[in-house]
Amino acid sequence: GQSLEQPSEVTAVEGAIVQINCTYQTSGFYGLSWYQQHDGGAPTFLSYNALDGLEETGRFSSFLSRSDSYGYLLLQELQMKDSASYFCAVSGSGGSYIPTFGRGTSLIVHP
Amino acid sequence: GAGVSQTPSNKVTEKGKYVELRCDPISGHTALYWYRQSLGQGPEFLIYFQGTGAADDSGLPNDRFFAVRPEGSVSTLKIQRTERGDSAVYLCASMREQGGTEAFFGQGTRLTVV
């Protein structure tokens, strides 16, 4: 089986930097991905890490440490529109490619 | 189509009734997933199709739930004898192929059982 832990809520101000952590337990590992979901909307893909290190895509970066079973999503230059839920998802348990999602982190950005 | 399409967007049904939820994935995507999401929770895996076959249905909660994908594109999730606890948003996602890194989600079907 697998399990993921992430904070339930994070708050920050516009223009700041915020980091959302994710720790996971899994019997096998292919990759860690991140999704953003606005209220009432569909989850949308942000990033995928299969190897250790930092992946940068614009204002968003994602980090993975396989030895620590840990990753994080880093959001820079926060904007009001970044207020949303952020989910980490892991694939690879039992050799399966099916992404298993965490419970999500609600990010609230204040002006 | 341009994205994953799910119909209906909302469904209200009476306890005990049968419902069908439809998912039209991105054309050419061979991998299709159904998830269920309750308020304040992450998507919970239900079933995975690779092509026409259900490759993994370990997430289906009980035998009232069934899904098909007869031609390897459109999929239908079927729920018999609905219960109030089945109320949730049912999400469908597709990937280009098995082992893909990016899942494309539909807007979901909000099912309410009264």
Residue B100: predicted pLDDT: 87
pLDDT tens digits, B4-42: 999 999 999 999 999 999 999 999 999 999 999 999 999
- Judge: A33–B105 Cβ closer than 8 Å, yes or no: no
pLDDT at residue A95 in the model:
83
* Probe site for chain B from A97, A103, A105, A106 (most B CB atoms < 10 A): A97
Residue of B nearest to A102 (CA): B42
For chain A, list residues with pLDDT below 70. 1
The partner residue sitting opposite B42, judged by closest CB among A30, A45, A102, is A102
Per-residue confidence (pLDDT) for residue B1, from 0 to 100: 53
Dist CA B36 CA B32 (whole Å): 14
Alpha-carbon distance of A36 to A58, in angstroms, equals: 15
pLDDT grade for B99, boundaries at 50, 70 and 90: confident
pLDDT value for B4: 98
- Residues in chain A with CB shorter than 8 Å from the CB of B90 are none
Per-residue pLDDT tens for B54-80? 999 999 999 999 999 999 999 999 999
Would the CB atoms of A104 and B44 count as touching at under 8 Å?
no
For residue B17, the distance in angstroms to the closest alpha carbon of chain A comes to 25
Residue whose pair of structure tokens reads 């959001």 in the numeric block: A75
Q: Would the CB atoms of B33 and A30 count as touching at under 8 Å?
A: no
DSSP notation for B30-94? -EEEEEEE-TTS--EEEEEEETTEEEE-TT--STTEEEE-TTSS-EEEEE-S--GGG-EEEEEEE
